[in-house]
Structure 1
Amino acid sequence: MLIEKMLSRDLLLSLQLPELDDLGQFIQSLPTSTLVGLGVLTTVLAYWFVARPRAIIPPCDLWHQSQEVEMEDGAHKSMISNSSKLLSYYHEDAKTMYEVFQRGLHITGDGPFLGSRLPSQPYKWLSYKEVFSRAEHLGSGLLSHGCQPNTDQFIGVFAQNRPEWIISELACYTYSMVVVPLYDTLGPDAIRYIINTGLKYNLHMYALGREHCRKPVPPQPDDLSIVCFTSGTTGNPKGVMLTHGNVVADFGGFLKVTDKVIFPNQDDVLISFLPLAHMFERLIESAVICHGGRIGFFQGDIHFLPDDMKTLRPTIFPVVPRLLNRMYDKIFSQANTPLKCWLLNFAAKRKGAEVSRGVIRSDSIWDKIFFHKIQASLGGRLRMIITGAAPASLSVLGFLRAALGCQVYEAYGQKECTAGCTFTTPGDWTSGHVGAPLPCNLIKLVDVAEKNYFAAKREGEICVKGPNVFKGYLKDPVRTTEMLDADGWLHTGDIGKWLPNGTLRIIDRKKHIFKLAQGEYISPEKIENIYIRSEPVSQLYVHGDSLQSCLVGIVVPDPEVFPSWAQKKGFGGCFGELCDKKEVKKAILDDMVRLGKASGLHSFEQVKDIHIHKEMFSIQNGLLTPTLKAKRPELKEYFKTEIEQLYSNISM
């Protein structure tokens, strides 16, 4: 209405320009009411121009995010870097992890660095100088106990996320020693194997070496920095050897992708709760440290994480999809009426329309009415969320990008390429892919003929090459050559597909191994081989995927053994009747879980629910191969409805 009044008939008539050579004379000839109208209109338009939400300017053409490289077998490189060389580091003065810390120390002086808290207490901070002093003392103490300041010296660290973890790591880097993270889900046998493979000392807490303080012995970029053992699915754990240059190159690639829109700085605060034994968490922390930022640790109990977030008010939040799923479920559980649910979805769609145009903000009308409390529950200052370790749900990622009002990135990779090899390009807030190659590596797809994936069709096994690719497995040349070919290409075992815009989509796994939502690798066949020993079980199929946090199973009872087994348990009836009884199903599940525990399965490897199927898998019904092996894709599709129902029951 205001615009209509300003564009009155007099004004429109006045704008039919007369033949005047002097524009000043023309303006002076306009009626006063017209001049006032023009002034108001100009003011409104100027305010809108200044205050309007602006889209993030992408660092490259979002329709062309990677390109093929000549002489590299169709490999793709990032379009963000103009250099023909792959990125090895971002900062000239930060080529090792020791220099990364020194750079942060130089930027912040004696600013706060590592924070921790007790329940209901504020965060208490150690400064950069305090941390460096403690690291020197700890490292000197280790040297005085016989450790050597070189890359042949391995130091194991077994602790939850806390300041001492970072201090222990820095102590090793200060004297060119190698960190070997340990974590409880490895299991006692795996930990025993790792210790026997090369560890000399385990640091449960740091000791001071003030009396024997030694001068630092800094490492070189090609020196080994860390050996990360994979949890593994079969056999002994594999020790991934990463150099200082590997780690610096990988987070340098992350910095290069994001440097125009959300560069880390001294004011950034990262909440640390993902295990520091995994490289994804440590890589993001390294980027923060390099720029003098702060790291605040959670209390050690995931149930208190919301309180830690509100107290710390972080700006950077590394997460895994499982946590994003929980956030999403909690938000909608609080919308406990059809009307509230409809309004929440409506607001998310309106805000999502902005996100699709590249606009990320937390001050829209939708934020003020619907999403402010959600953002406040995470501290109210988030500007970056990074998710990795497993694929994220399209619907969850899309909703949270709208609701949280901050940039949400997705990464893909594995320890063997340090952490990440692809990353979301700023401004591309679409889902269904894992971004383009990082500027530190090339990615190519190679044929997997047995699964009908061919590079000519832009599908195949994902292979990675670059300065972020590991040097091999510790004392394991056989498995090293299985993963790392003679030309330096890392064969990930994942199947990818190039999309038209140069981004990568993960579509399958070369072998029957997958990740759960929390990032744990699962070998279903190993689990099936344990459960098949259950007396009433004749056949079974263990199912899981990267959007779920647990496993479920399809069980076919043995027609001959099952009735008598059930009778011993106090259940009566014929085969069909027994299959339909919930208490019989529970008895079978309990027996399977018992066998799993006896065989050392972790809790995340145990199925949480099962469906009893009465018909045997066979060649005739298409569920077995001619050699009587399970056809896993066919089983997944055949039991799609039952699997969805099992997960629905678990979430209730």
Structure 2
Amino acid sequence: MKLKEDMSPLLLQVFRSVVWVYSVITFLPWYLLSGASERQACAKRVKARSVSGSPAGSYRAVNSQQKLVSLLHEGVDTLDKVFEYAVVHFPQRDCLGTRELLSEEDEIQPNGKVFKKVILGDYNWLSYEDTFHLSQRFGSGLAALGQKPLCNIAIFCETRAEWIIAAQACFMYNFPLVTLYSTLGGAAIAHGLNETEVTHIITSKDLLQSRLKAILMDVPRLKHIIVVDKKPKSLPDLPRGIMVHNVAAVQELGAKPENIMVSRRQPVPSDIAVIMYTSGSTGIPKGVMISHSNIIAGITGMAERIPNLKYKLAILRKKSHNLCRKLSLFWHTTTRWSRSPKDTARHSVTGIMNAAYNISKMISSKTPFCRSVFSVITLMYNCILFCRLVFKKVRSLLGGSMRVLLSGGAPLSAATQRFMNICFCCPVGQGYGLTETCGAGTISDLADYSTGRVGAPLVCSEIMLKDWVEGGYFSTDKPNPRGEILIGGPNVTMGYYKNEQKNREDFFVDVNGQRWFCTGDIGEFHSDGCLKIIDRKKDLVKLQAGEYVSLGKVEAVLKNCPLIDNICAYANSEESYVIGFVVPNQKQLTALAEQKGIRGSWEEICNHAEMEKEVLCIITDAAITGKLERFEIPKKIRLSAEPWTPETGLVTDAFKLKRKELKTHYQDDIERMYGGK
């Protein structure tokens, strides 16, 4: 043991020396041959400018200063035309891939939770032509069952190929598609179905049995249920008049000569394609009305920002599907990355990337040697030695051909972004958008390796910063203009379904007829036209002494602490300090408890008063390091043994905090921490 301790510093020094010599020898050839100088110049260029020339004006991408772009291909202005164009040009190319489920097993986690581990086989692919015919038949079958053009139809289903086939059928036949997250509560599901007056719903056997049957009596207009798998042999007790079909039977009905393409009314760009019910962080979910032209504009902006795309129209079609699935479940944060050699670009949410980074920190902290290796690695972006050897297995997790990773859903910490850049040996950028803007707003340039920013406006979007006096943010601030982010352009959606009051609050049309959405997020523009998200308007609380605290800002700083998996800051305007609810990292907290001689179950450790004090000290240090003001630092905390998932109802499907629900859940703790109990 003594010999190992003596050798450790020597090994560290040898390792550092080897890396240093390698870096010196390879830097010049790498710089000259890899195009690093060109990428650096590209990264530093101005990417967006104020239209008026004033820093306080609205910003557009440099290549859309005169006019925002809304079409990628002339005449392809609705989603059914996009699909038809792709089928004509790429009939036999792979369109939808499904992996066979070989086996599944329950894996017990240290906290007692059961994680279902699945073993999947190879992909079975449907071509564009095959997918088109299946969608066409399904649409004809729905029409034969009484579904009318411009009348809403709902889909309440997990991610699968049938989801896309059904969605494409609805676009083709002009059935506005109402999307509902499968994790929404019963009342929220019934609200969406009743508000949109649907008579037909597409779902799965599991969701019919577990979720829908409990609310069918509360949805009196519903007449037809179409399940995407085989029709269940035994059905739950259904209200009289409701008929259950499966997709294959509906497609068989649609394939009959008397039904094929009958009653088809082709959509126009202004027709509603999707009514997406958000899993909002407050209140009852709102249905966002998204037209065909909105989605086309959004994916046009995204496609322009990612260069060298082959078969752009095919990718445009795929992006329309991806966007619609984002407007439902396609990028669900609980989906695990799959190993596909065909993937070259991938979208992920911040929570998954932060989790990967936290795991790496735990591994690296085991020994001084590991810590040293970790620190050296974080300086070695695009090093051939590390990309080819050290990170080969990591890259293979995503197929080995990854060109770009994009993160969205919440700001990605600088440390996480840098680490993911290095591990996957490709650019890791950030994007910013909302359901109300079709997910489109900004995407960082692939040559820009700066961290903490979300990039410049897309060619379909214009962004303006509005003064927020209460928060102290002004478009005239120096050195960078700051304010509430307003997004304008053809990708801004048509508003909330049957909610005129909220429409007046959040949307407006300017004198030029352009629609705008008020995001509630606070941003600042840098000199090169890139945007940084710095605050959230709705998270502002005024303390008893008059100080304004941004809860989102506090949470963003403290999430960088390796001891914290998740945190919700809370403040009462009648009190003088901030408190917090913390989901601790189990391995980190357990190790800390062992150091302090505290033993027990996970729940007992989290409920131990001494552990609360220890974690609070660590959080306070992290807050000071993160330059939080004294009044912004939580004075008391509550450790939660239970992780926050969409199933608990405490976070959305994008893992954003539901503050109202969290407040209710921890009401007793709030009273305790504020002295009421």
TM-score by length of 2: 0.64
Counterpart in the other structure of 1:376: 396
SS of the counterpart of 2:405?
strand
Q: For 1:221 and 1:273, how far apart are their aligned partners in 2?
A: 17
Q: Deviations over 1:37-82 (max 9, x none)?
A: xxxxxxxxxx969992123658967342211113999443333415
Residue by residue over 1:561-614, the C-alpha shift from the partner in whole angstroms, topping out at 9 and shown as x without a partner, is xxxxxxxxxx9xxxxx9965989x9xx979999xx9999756975599999899
The correspondence for 1:322, drawn from 343, 351, 357, is: 351
Shift of 1:316: 2.1
Distance 1:60 1:148, change over 3 A: farther
SS, match of residue 130 in structure 1: helix
2:135 is matched with 135
Report matched runs for 1:91-490 at 5 Å.
91-117=73-99, 118-119=101-102, 120-149=120-149, 151=150, 153-198=151-196, 199-204=198-203, 205=228, 206=247, 207-208=250-251, 209-211=254-256, 212-214=259-261, 216-260=264-308, 277-279=325-327, 302=335, 305=336, 309-310=338-339, 314-335=343-364, 336-351=366-381, 364-457=384-477, 458-487=481-510, 488-490=515-517
Residue matched to 1:89: 71
How far apart in 2 are the matches of 1:184 and 1:528? 33
SS at match of 1:100: helix
**CA distance in 1: counterparts of 2:319 and 2:295, whole angstroms:** 20
Partners of 1:512 and 1:524 within 8 A in 2: no
Distance 1:598 1:160 in 2: 14
Aligned to 2:524: 497
Q: Flag the 1:589–1:459 CA change in 2: closer, same or farther, 3 A.
A: closer
Answering whether residue 97 of structure 2 is matched by residue 68 of structure 1, we say: no
- The residue aligned with 1:559 is none
Task: Specify which of 34, 41, 63 is matched with residue 53 of structure 1.
Answer: 34
Structure 2 CA distance, aligned partners of 1:84 and 1:179?
34
Cα separation, partners in 2 of 1:115 and 1:195, compared to 1, 3 Å: same
Structure with higher Rg: it is 1
Query: Counterpart amino acid of 1:191?
Result: I
SS at match of 2:303: helix
**Secondary structure, counterpart of 1:494 in structure 2:** strand
Quote the offset at 1:267 in angstroms.
9.7
By how many angstroms is 1:489 displaced? 2.3
Distance (Å, rounded) in 2 between the aligned partners of 1:609 and 1:616: 10
Query: How has the CA–CA distance of structure 1 residues 66 and 96 changed in structure 2, closer, same or farther, with 3 Å as cutoff?
Result: same
Contact in 1 for aligned 2:49/2:62 (Cα 8 Å): no
What SS does structure 2 have at the residue aligned with 1:139? Answer: helix
Q: 1:93 to 1:110 in 2, by over 3 A?
A: farther
Percent identity over the alignment?
Answer: 27
2:484–2:523 Cα contact (<8 Å) kept? yes
**Are the equivalent residues in 2 in contact too, given 1:445–1:496 (CA < 8 A)?**
yes
Q: Secondary structure at the match of 2:380?
A: helix
The change in CA–CA distance for 1:169 and 1:442 in structure 2 (over 3 A counts) is: same
Output the amino acid matched with 1:196.
Answer: N
Question: Is the partner of 1:450 in helix, strand or coil?
Answer: coil
Aligned CA distance change for structure 1 residues 329 and 271 (closer, same or farther; 3 Å)? farther
Distance in 2 separating the partners of 1:578 and 1:102: 62
SS in 2 for 1:391: coil
Displacement after TM superposition at 1:148 (Å)? 1.1
Q: Is the 8 A contact 2:638 2:669 kept in 1?
A: no
Comparing 256-265 with 312-321, greater Cα deviation is found at 256-265
1:358 aligns to what? none
Instruction: Verify the 8 A CA contact 2:59 2:529 in the aligned structure 1.
Output: no
Which whole-Å CA distance do the structure 1 matches of 2:186 and 2:671 have between them? 39
Cα RMSD (Å): 4.8
Length-normalised TM-score, structure 1: 0.66
- 1:542 shift after superposition: 4.3
SS in 1 for 2:538: coil
Where 1:203 maps in the other structure, the secondary structure is strand
Question: Cα deviations across residues 495-541 of structure 1 (Å, max 9, x unaligned)?
Answer: 111122221111111112888999xx99977x999xx9xxxx99984
